A = this chain, B = another copy of it.
C-alpha cells in the first residue's frame, strides 16, 4: 500500500516557512518609511492582479510570499508607518504579534471554561490586573460582582452593554430611549440600531465648547422623555471622542444616570490607555457611576487588533442578557457555578485566546514601559499644538487634552481640504479630517508605536509648505 498523500505542511516545512514569514515581516517594517503611507492604488487594481479562479492544485509557499510583495503591499495603507496620523492609531508590538501567533498555533476555542480553562482564567486575571494598572474602580474586579472580558471592538462592547441595559429596563422596546452626545462614535448609534431601539428614540445631546456632553441638557431631555411616557434606559459617555478627543464629564452624567436608573456605559476606546499614567487619570473621574466601561489596547496600548477590554459592574446583568445554554454546551464545570463561561459575556459564541497577546505585552513592557509611550505621545502632541498656535496661518481648534490635535488653516474648507489631499497624495504622511461646527478640521492623532519627534516635524513641515503654496496661489 502506498502511503496516503498528505497535503499538510510538515512540522519542518512549517518551521522553515515560519522563519521566512518572520523575516518577511521584519523586512516590511524596515522598509515601511519608503512606502507611501496612504495606498496609491485605484479601485480594482488589486483584483486585476489576482487570477479569476482558485487554483486546482496547491502552489508553493515561496510563490505565495512573493505575491505579498507583488500584489498585496501596494494595496496597503501602512498603519504601522511612523508617519501615520489618521483616524485613531492601531499601535502594535513584537510581543503582541508573538502572543497572537501562539494563539493561532494552539488554536483553542475559549467559549466555555472547560474548552480551555487557561483561556478563561488568564483573561479574567489580566483584566483584573488592568483595573489596578488604570486606577479603575474596584467594582470592575472579578472578586466582587463585576469582571472583565475581551471583545473584538468597542462597537461590540457597546452593543453588549446596550442589550444588558435594554433587558434591565424590561419594558416595551418601542418606548426605550438612549442618550449619546452629538460627538459620540458612530458605532454607538449603530449598536442602538442593531439592538432594535427606534431610531427616533436616540437623543443626541448637545455639547459644550469643548465638545463634551452637557449634563443639564441631558437631564432636561430625560425629563421631557419621562413626561412623554418614554423610558430612558441607556447613556453612553465618551472619554476622548473621535473627532476632537472631548472628555464627557462622567461624574455629573453618572449622577444623573443613577438618579433615573439609566445604564451608564463609558467608551474610552483610544484614551483609556492614558490612565496608565497617574497624571492622566482625571479623564476617568466619576467612573464609579459606570455600569460598564471599555477601552482598546489595540489602539494605543501596543496590542494587535482585536483587543477591546470591557468591564461590567454587575456581571449577572450581562450574562442574563446574553446567555442561552443548549444541551450540547452543558458540562459539569458550568453547572458547578464555579467558573466563567465567556460565551455569555459577548455577542458571538466562539472566541480566540486573545488574552495571550495582552499578557505578553504587559509582561514585556512592564507598567513603566507602557507609561513611557503614553507620555511620549502626549508630549509630542502638546508640542505640535504649540507649533500650530505660534504659526500665523493656523489656529488650534481645541486645546488637546492628550494626544490628538485638532487644528485648522485660517482659510475656507476648500483650502483645508487641499492641504489634506495634497499631503496624503504625496504618500509621505497620512492624516485625516473631521467636521466640527460645520467646519472642516484637520486632525493629527499621535500614537503609533514607532512615531518619533522627527516624524511629527516632517508632518508639520509638509503642512506648512502646502499652506504656503496655497497662500501664493490665492
Contacts and interface: CB of A to CB of B under 8 A. Distances in A.
A349 B372 CA distance: 29
B132 A104 contact: no
A366 B55 CA distance: 5
Contacts of A85: none
A108 interface: yes
Contact of A92 (B107, B125, B129, B153): B107
Contact of A68 (B102, B133, B336): B102
Given A172-B174, A174-B174, A190-B322, A47 B94 contact: no
A22 interface: yes
B15 A26 contact: yes
Interface stretch (A69-77, A387-395, A464-472): A69-77
B76 A129 contact: no
Contacts of A79: 106-109, 115-116
A8 B366 contact: no
Nearest to A32: B106
B365 A77 contact: no
Interface in A53-108: 53-59, 61, 63-64, 68, 71-80, 87, 90, 92-98, 100-102, 104-108
B43 A7 contact: no
A236 to B, nearest CB: 14
Interface size class of A (residues with CB under 8 A): 35 or more
A367 B362 CA distance: 42
A6 to B, nearest CB: 9
Taken together, the copies of this chain in the complex come to 2
A163 interface: yes
A422 interface: no
A104 B75 contact: no
Given A43-B339, A58-B364, A61-B364, A163 B118 contact: no
A362 B22 contact: no
A55 B39 CA distance: 39
Interface stretch (A193-201, A215-223, A251-259, A279-287): A193-201
Interface string A271-311: 00000000000000000000000000010000011100000
A433 B364 contact: no
Contact of A159 (B15, B104, B325, B347): B347
Interface in A183-197: 185-187, 189-190, 193-197
Interface string A120-157: 01101110011011000000000000000000110110
Contact of A195 (B47, B100, B194, B369): B194
Interface string A27-40: 01110000000110
Contact of A327 (B44, B326, B373, B435): B435
Q: Which 5 interchain pairs have the tightest Cβ spacing? A: A196-B196, A75-B118, A9-B94, A25-B105, A18-B22
11 contacts: A15-B23, A18-B22, A25-B105, A71-B118, A75-B122, A76-B119, A166-B196, A172-B174, A306-B352, A327-B435, A328-B433
